Structures are given as structure tokens and as C-alpha cells.
Amino acid sequence: MSAPRKREIMKTYFTKRYEKVLDSLMVADTTAAVATLVNGDSKRASGLPNLEVVHGVASSLFNASLEKLKPNKDKEDLTLEKATESSDEFWKDENFKQEIHSESPNSYIETDQDQDQEASKVEAKTRQHFIDIFVEKLIAKMVPERLPERERLFQSNSEDEKLGYQTVSATKLTQNLKDLSAKTGGMFETQDTIVRLLTWRNPSGTITMLILLTMICFNPMCFLVFPLLYIMYAMMVPGYMRRHPLRRTLYPIRRANGKSLLRELANGGIPKSSQPPYSFDLYRTNSDSLKDENVNNGAELVANIRDFQNATTSLLSFLSSLEKFKYGTAGFKDERFSTLVFLAYFIGFCILGLVSPYINWSLVISFALWFGMLVIHPKTLPRIKKHINTNPVHHSKRTIRDSEKYDVILDEPPEVRFVEIFEIYEQGITPRHWEFFKISSQVFDSSDKFRKLQKPPPGVDSLSEVLPPKTWSFDENSQWEVDYDAEKWAFERGLLLPIQEEFLTDDMFKRRRLTRKVLRYANPIRKPFYKYK
Amino acid sequence: MSTCVSLKVRKVNLHYKTVHQPKSDMAKEASDYYCRAHFIYHHGQKPSLTLVTPATMSSVLHRIYPLLLIADATLSNLMWICEDLCLPFIHLVMVLMVVNFLCEDLQVDISHIAQLWLGLMSLFFLAFSVAYYILTLYQDLLYESEPPTVDDIVIVLESVVDKLETIQHEGLSVNKRRALQLAVLLTPLHWGLIKLVSMKNYCMGFTLMCILYHSNWFQCTLKLFWRILLTRKVYYGLERLFNGHGPFPKKPVDFFRAISSSEYIYRMALPHDVKALHSHKLQLRLQQLFPWDKPLHNDENGSDLMVIEFKINENQRKWQADGWTARMLPYERTKYSIELGGKINTCHSPWQFQESDLKNWSWLDDCWRPTDWIYSDTNWDFKGVHDSLDCCTRTRAWKRRVYRLME
């Protein structure tokens, strides 16, 4: 037996030997961290202690390094891969075998390919990026081990036992994203087609779209019928034709003579001089064939990922504007504006409700569609914009707005509540001698934790230093008033101590309650949870 | 601040001689803390009613407990404040179907028969659900739950009373005269509406309004509408139509009307030497006799001098856009007002007012003197002398006196 071979065996032996130790180490560490985090939940209002976060991150780092040391023998992962393979069976059907092997260079021999794949998977697993493992461990630390379903996040967790183990895994997520981006090509193509239709880059297509939409408007049943037609004649018939061509010989046209009136009209009038006859369709088929042949899979994947990235960016900006509406306008951030918006919607609702029975909606919507599409035509839109900008009515809008700021009257009475504070006196040398001690929000009776620690209660020395509760303000027209019914407030607190006039006394201190009115114009607006810090 | 904190710490150490804590720790704690007042909660410990309530009272309360629960549930449904909002909605739809059924003309036709059937079924279902609720409530009280304490009953009673008060508060308060006026005004309107939207739709709309009226949505819509100036103008326009006159006369009061209906008229006797004086000398002497900051009194047999004090109120309103301004709402008192005979009248500004021809009256004071601002809420109800969150209007009086020697 050669030395390297021997070393290899030794290495496997030791790894096997210490795998268990490593595992137990990791388990203990993870559970400890999770336990601290979960227990810390109740304290979360005061913010996660920095020490715990550091500890969590450090242990995740440590775990990630351990993971990296471990050879890849995760049974779970293997079964997962098996599962994906079985779903791949669908694509391995002999009907999917291509004539030209452009997809991967080593797909000739199936057995070889399988072996190679297996090997590369193991390799990939061991070479898995350190950061990936780290992030995964970090997530596993930050969230409780078993993550409830979304709908149960805010419900009682009585049925948690039934839920399977569904942990968050960064690698799995990345893999899913990768797969998703490879498969979303069709979606982005559709999106692109729609954009092309809306911007009149394919005029005949736009007009076809308008005609179809008009048909739907007049007969909503078309909404169901058209998808059926699409599936039959745009998906299934081409599929059939691909497998069983009709053998109709089509001669490629080199040069298209003559022009389409419709297209010329849509492109902005009939040109005087004869332009090179570069028909749209011809151009399109050229580009399509170019795309089919030249653009390889890798580039398409990258393009898909880029589109996906753009889509997520626009989704995010859409969500943030939605959020702005939800928490700003709908949350009455600017009371005047929100009131006006509400009224505008209300009036719109009433008018629509009253008028709708007398309106031929099919006609109105189809007219609106045609009109809208004509307005956003690239040739007409700049002209309309120019016209609006030169219109004097639009300019005078500014001056009207200034005088309109008094149209909403915000004179609702504010919310009123009462606050209390305790003026505490300390026993002096004689029983009749009392010395001012502190003004505090606490009664400071003998069961008070500060008193047990022989510390003064948190408080201030003068009434002017007392602050109102957050988001509230003191009513300037009311002053601190002594509450003479000491018996009542003492009973409400369960304090059975002797009462002298308005004071509640014990062996060392006496205190009286002062109350004052506080006001608040409105409750603060709700914020999304991630904005609370 | 730091000196203040150290002072406090020293004081604390004096009081607690046994404490052996480092000074710096205490100082840190004190500086971190600022005292915020706490709200008063009224749900603390309360004396139990069980022992102090007479037995007959307890038994009566116990007997009406189920009725109170039913009333509470009904009111919750009416105010749309139940936990499950879909339930009152379903009830609403059923009630509407019953109304539809009641208003339906008898016709033999598929859609009519279907509507009739739906209405009848809804009626039965509603009746049965009410009966079922009451039955199960009694059953629960009898067998399932523990008997209620007097405190439980009182809590439900308070809840019912609170809800009733809210409903009463939200309802439009109209006196008999106004109700009659409204009826006279609204009858043709009703008639027109019924002609326009058929009897059935009108009844259904009315039922819908009645059921929804005490819901949060309806009340908030009303409140939001009330914020709009146009709504208030329409409301006060109608008010004027009913009353025959506006809240405040628009025509500014002239000098002589102000004199004739003034409440601050003082008649006084004068020494002989003063009576002989004229114009400026007389004015100066009178100013010495009656300083502006001393209140005037009527003399018992004074018939030499008549002094009238004018109080022109300057009014302002607080606007969100630019704070306190003299811009007032169109239906309320104007920028300057004067109170004559217990009524508020529109008035010119003091400086326009003093331009009027005084005839045989003369100014006693050299100028108009303002008082401090007095703050009030949006309905001009007094709030205090400081600007606060609940103050929307303020007013101050400009005072100046005129005199006339009686012949």
C-alpha cells in the first residue's frame, strides 16, 4: 500500500471518528444560541443585547468552519438531490433528445454524464462557498429552529408539533433563485412583448390587441374563450407542426416590395422619399433566427438574471410607493391632503354608483382603450404634452392652491387624558418634620424595588422637570393638582397604609398624588415593523 | 445639567449613609433618567360589590343579566364592533332581502319568485338565529359557565350604558320645532326621491343607512366631511334658512347703536371745578379722576357725567397652514366683534370705529388698550389664557371709553 493511499485511509478514519464530536459540539452550541435568542424575545423591546449578537455571529463563523472541515455526507442533501433528479426524469424522456447537441458537450453518453454529474455534485458540495455556509448558519441562529407557516406567525402555536422541519437555508434559496431565473425567460419575453405592444413598436400587433380587447369588452365570455384559442392554436398546433411538419414549401423572400398602409400610418405618415424597404417582419424574423442560433444558453441565463434583477428592483420601488400610500396618505400623515383624497374617492364612488346603470360600459371602456392607446402613441404624446404645457389654465393652478389651503378645517378636539406623579417627602428628625425628597412616577412604598436597594426612586426635583408621556403634551391651561382622595388611589394600588390628609404615609416616607391633563392631537401613525428600532 | 445631577447625588448620599455604591454609577443612572408622568388607569383594584350589595338587588341584577348580555350583543351588532365583522354584514344582507321581500309586488315571474323565496328564507333564518342565540345564551348561563358576580353584571351594565350613550351622542339632536321644519322641508324631497328610485330601492337604501349609521365607517365619513368648509357652509346655510337669520348680523355696528345698546354705561357726579373745564383740560382731569386701569362704578346720584366703555373684541383662529391669523370661518363672528345686549355683532376695527363722528361725545382715553388673549376651542368655549393643543380660537378686547357731560 502506497503512502498517499495510507494517508487517505487515516484521514477518513479520523474524520469519521471526530465527526460525531464535531456534530455534538455544533448541536450544543446552536441550541444554546437559539435558546438565548428565543428567551431574549421578551426583552426585545429594549433591543437585542450586543453581546448576544456578537456571540451568535462568532458561533456561526465557528460552525461554518467546522462545516467546511466536514466531508460532504449529508444524507438530507443527497435525498434532496434525488428528488430533483426524479423531477428531471420528465426532461430525460427520449422525446426530448435533440438532434443537435448544443446544450452541453458531454451529453452523448448518458451513463458517463450521470457519473460525471454525481462527481461534480460532490465536488461542488465540498467546494461550497464558505460565505454561503456562514450565512446559512447565521440564519439558522437568528430564527427559531422550526419556522411556522406565514399564516401561523401571528397565531397561537398549538399545532406546531404537526409542522415538519422547514429551516431557512441560504444555499437552497440561492439554488431556487438560480433555477427560477433560468425558467423565467418566457415571462420576461411576455413582458417585453406587452411593452412593445403598448409603445406602438409593433403597430399591427397593437391594433390587433385593441380589437381583441374591444371584443372582450362587448362580450366578457371572450375572456375565457381567447385563452382556450391561444392554448389550442398558439401552443398545441405549433407543437404538432414541429413534430409532424406539413411539408409546405416556403420560399424565403429576399426583398419585400411594397408597403403596408397601416404600418406607415402608425409610424407617422406616409414618407415622401422611398426608404430602403426594411419591413418589420423581415427584420423580426432575422433577429429571431439570429437569436436562435447565436445566443447561447449562458447569455440567455445572464439576461434572465438581469431581467429578474430589474424586475425585483421595480417590484421593490412599486412596493415602497404602495407603502408610502398605505402609511402616508391612507394613514393621515398630511391630514388635509388625506381628507381631500378621501372625499375625492367618496364623491367618485357616489358618482360611479349613481351613473353606472345608465352607462354602456362596453362602449366607454373600449373607447377609453382606443383613446388611451392613441394618446400614448409616440408621435402624439409629445404634441399633447407641449399643448398642455403652453396652456395658461395650467399655470394659474399654483395661485389657486394658495387660497385653497383654508378649505379643510382641522379643529377636532384633541384626545384628553390625565397623568399622575407622586411628590415624596422623607421623615425628618421629629415625626412631624418632613423634608421634600423627590418627585417620581412611582409610589415608592416599602415593596418598591428601588427602596429595597436603598436607592432613591427615579425622579426629579421640581415639577417643571416632569415630562409628559411620549407623543403627549401637557395642557398649558391646566396645572398640577393635588389629589385629595388619597384613600381611593391607595386602594386602587392595593396599598393599605395610614393616610394623613392627602398624604399616604409609612415609617420613612409620605407621598401625595398630583394629577394633570395631557393632550394629544392624534395617535401616531402605524409604521411597518422594520421601521421600529 | 451635570451640576444639577451631582447635587442630586450628593443629596442622595446624605440620605443613604449606608449605601456603599460608587458615585459615578449613581450619577450615570440619574442622568439617564428623566421623569415621565404615568397615565392614570381606572382599572386598578376596586372594592368588590358583592358584599355591599343588598340581596334583593343582587337577585334582580342576576335576573336581568341575560337581558343585559342580549342588549349588549344587539348594540355591538348595531355599532359594528363585534369581533367577527362578517356576521353583521350577513345579517345586513338578510335584513335587506327581507325588506326587498316586504316591498315586492306580487308577480308570477321567475326572478320575482326567487326574490320572494330569498326574502322569506332570510326572515326565517334571522328569526331562528335570534331565537337560537337567546336559547344558547340561557343554556350557557345555566349549565356551562360559573354564575356571574355582581361585578361582572355591573361591567356588562356599564358597557350597555356606554354604548347607549355613544349612540345617543352620535344621533342628531333635534328639538320639536326643528323636527317639524325638517319634516316640512324633507317631505317633497322624500317624495321626489321615491318617484326617482322606486319605493323598494328607497326603503332598502333607508334601511341600509339606518343599520350602517352607527358604524365606525359612517361616523368617520361624517367627521371627515365636517372638516370641509363647504359642508359647514351648507349646514349653516340651512340653519339660517330655518332660523330666518344668521348667527351674527353681517352689518357692522355704528357708533350710536353701540352707545345706545351698550352694557357698560356709568353715570357719575363731578366736582364743580371740573365741570367748568373744557376740552383737553377736562379730558386730562377726568383721566386723573378715572384712571384707565381702575374699574368704573355708577354713582348713586350722579347725573353730571356719562361714561361708556367700548370693548371691541379682536378674534383670531388657528390654522394649520400659518398659525394664528385673522382669517375667520364665513359663518362665525368676524375679525372684530362687539357684544351688545348679550349678542355678538360685527364691528369695524377700533381704528375705523374711532373715525366716526362723535357729536357731543368725547374720547376719555387717549388710545385703545388691549387685554391679554383669551383662548377657546373651535366653538368659542373658554379654555384658558395659554395657547394649548385644544385651543382653536382666541380673542382679546380693545377697550376705550367715551364721556359726555350731562346738561
Q: What is the residue-wise DSSP string for A458-502?
A: SEESSGGGPBPPTT-EE-TT---EE---HHHHHHHTT----EETT
DSSP one-letter code for A310: H
Does residue A166 sit within a domain?
no
Domain span at B261: 255-405
Does residue A122 sit within a domain?
no
Largest Cα–Cα distance of chain B, in whole Å? 106
Same domain, B213 and B289: no
Task: Considering only the beta carbons, identify the residue of A440, A475, A492 that sits closest to B35.
Answer: A440
Statement: residue A345 has pLDDT above 90: yes
Number of domains making up chain A = 1
Does residue B361 sit within a domain?
yes
Does residue B236 sit within a domain?
no
Does residue B376 sit within a domain?
yes
Task: Pick A304 or A2 by higher pLDDT.
Answer: A304
Identify the CA nearest to B401 among candidates B337, B271, B309. Answer: B309
Does residue A231 sit within a domain?
no
Same domain, B194 and B152: yes
By percentage, how much of chain A surpasses pLDDT 90?
20
The backbone region for B218, taken as left when phi is positive above 0, alpha when psi lies in -120 to 50, beta otherwise, is: alpha
How far away is chain B from the Cα of A527, in angstroms, using its nearest Cα? 21
Same domain, B78 and B215: yes
CA dihedral B290, B292, B298, B304 (to 10 degrees): 50
Q: Reduced to 3 states, what is the DSSP secondary structure of residue B263? A: coil
Task: Considering only the beta carbons, identify the residue of A437, A460, A476 that sits closest to B387.
Answer: A476
Is the CB of residue B126 less than 8 Å from the CB of residue B222? no
Q: How confident is the model at residue B257 (pLDDT cuts 50, 70, 90)?
A: confident
Does residue B6 sit within a domain?
no
Examine the fold and report which residue of B210, B227, B244 is the final residue of a domain before the chain moves on: B227
Spacing of C-alpha A8 from chain mean position? 49
Same domain, B194 and B264: no
Is the CB of residue B375 less than 8 Å from the CB of residue B393? yes
Cα separation of A116 and A298, whole Å?
Answer: 20
Cα separation of A70 and A73, whole Å?
Answer: 8
Could you tell me which chain A residue has the CA closest to the CA of B320?
A410
Identify the CA nearest to A477 among candidates A527, A506, A519. Answer: A519
Statement: residue A369 has pLDDT above 80: yes
Cα separation of B214 and B99, whole Å?
Answer: 20
What is the bridge-based pairing of β-strands B265-268 and B38-39? unpaired
Does residue A506 sit within a domain?
yes
Mutate: best of A476, A509, A515, partner B, most B CBs <10 A: A476
Q: Which pLDDT does position B344 carry in this prediction?
A: 86
Record the cell numbers describing residue B25, joined without a space: 454609577
Verify whether the Cβ–Cβ distance B228 to A343 is below 8 Å.
yes
Average pLDDT over residues B219-237: 91
Cβ-proximal residues to B299 (8 Å cutoff; 6+ apart), any chain: B267, B268, B269
Identify the CA nearest to B96 among candidates B214, B211, B218, B219. Answer: B211
Same domain, B213 and B74: yes
DSSP one-letter code for A442: S
Same domain, B222 and B338: no
Cα separation of A123 and A117, whole Å?
Answer: 10
Q: How confident is the model at residue A274 (pLDDT cuts 50, 70, 90)?
A: very low
DSSP one-letter code for A417: E
Is the CB of residue B327 less than 8 Å from the CB of residue B319? yes
Does residue B237 sit within a domain?
no
Does residue B152 sit within a domain?
yes
B:196-225 residues touching chain A, CB 8 A cutoff: 221, 223-225
Task: Pick A316 or A252 by higher pLDDT.
Answer: A316
Enter the pTM of the model.
0.70
Statement: residue A271 has pLDDT above 90: no
Task: Considering only the beta carbons, identify the residue of A405, A458, A521 that sits closest to B389.
Answer: A521
Statement: residue A287 has pLDDT above 50: no
Examine the fold and report which residue of B212, B227, B242 is the final residue of a domain before the chain moves on: B227
Examine the fold and report which residue of B227, B244, B268 is the final residue of a domain before the chain moves on: B227
Q: Reduced to 3 states, what is the DSSP secondary structure of residue A143? A: coil
Number of domains making up chain B = 2
Task: Report which listed range, B51-60, B171-180, B222-231, B332-341, is most confident.
Answer: B222-231
Identify the CA nearest to A462 among candidates A489, A423, A427. Answer: A423
pLDDT in tens, B79-92: 998 888 898 999 99
Q: Which pLDDT does position A523 carry in this prediction?
A: 87
Is the CB of residue A126 less than 8 Å from the CB of residue A71? yes
Q: Which pLDDT does position A314 carry in this prediction?
A: 92
Same domain, B288 and B354: yes
Verify whether the Cβ–Cβ distance A466 to B225 is below 8 Å.
no
Cβ-proximal residues to A461 (8 Å cutoff; 6+ apart), any chain: A438, A439, B4, B8
Concatenated DSSP letters of A164-222: ------HHHHHHHHHHHHHHTHHHHHHHHHHHHHHTTSSHHHHHHHHHHHHHHHH-TTH
Task: Pick B128 or B107 by higher pLDDT.
Answer: B128
Our separate counts of H helices and E strands in chain B read: 14, 11
Does residue A450 sit within a domain?
yes
Same domain, B301 and B166: no
Domain span at A460: 415-520
Same domain, B323 and B384: yes
Task: Pick A321 or B304 by higher pLDDT.
Answer: A321
Average pLDDT over residues B181-204: 86
How far away is chain A from the Cα of B378, in angstroms, using its nearest Cα? 6
CA atoms within 13 A on the CB side of A412: 17
Cα separation of A92 and A98, whole Å?
Answer: 11
Is the CB of residue B364 less than 8 Å from the CB of residue B283? yes
Average pLDDT over residues B369-383: 91
Task: Considering only the beta carbons, identify the residue of B8, B15, B383 that sits closest to A461.
Answer: B8
Does residue A358 sit within a domain?
no
Same domain, B182 and B264: no
Does residue A282 sit within a domain?
no
Does residue B233 sit within a domain?
no
Q: Which pLDDT does position A282 carry in this prediction?
A: 41
Concatenated DSSP letters of B203-231: HHHHHHHHHHTTSHHHHHHHHHHHTBHHH
How far away is chain B from the Cα of A401, in angstroms, using its nearest Cα? 12
A-to-B residue pairs, Cβ atoms closer than 8 angstroms: 137
Cβ-proximal residues to B73 (8 Å cutoff; 6+ apart), any chain: B82, B133
The CB-based long-range contact list for A524-533 (8 Å cut-off, 24+ gap) reads A524/A471, A525/A327, A525/A331, A525/A332, A525/A333, A526/A327, A526/A331, A527/A327, A528/A323, A528/A327
pLDDT in tens, A377-396: 888 888 888 888 876 655 55
Same domain, B260 and B200: no
Same domain, B296 and B187: no
Verify whether the Cβ–Cβ distance B38 to A461 is below 8 Å.
no
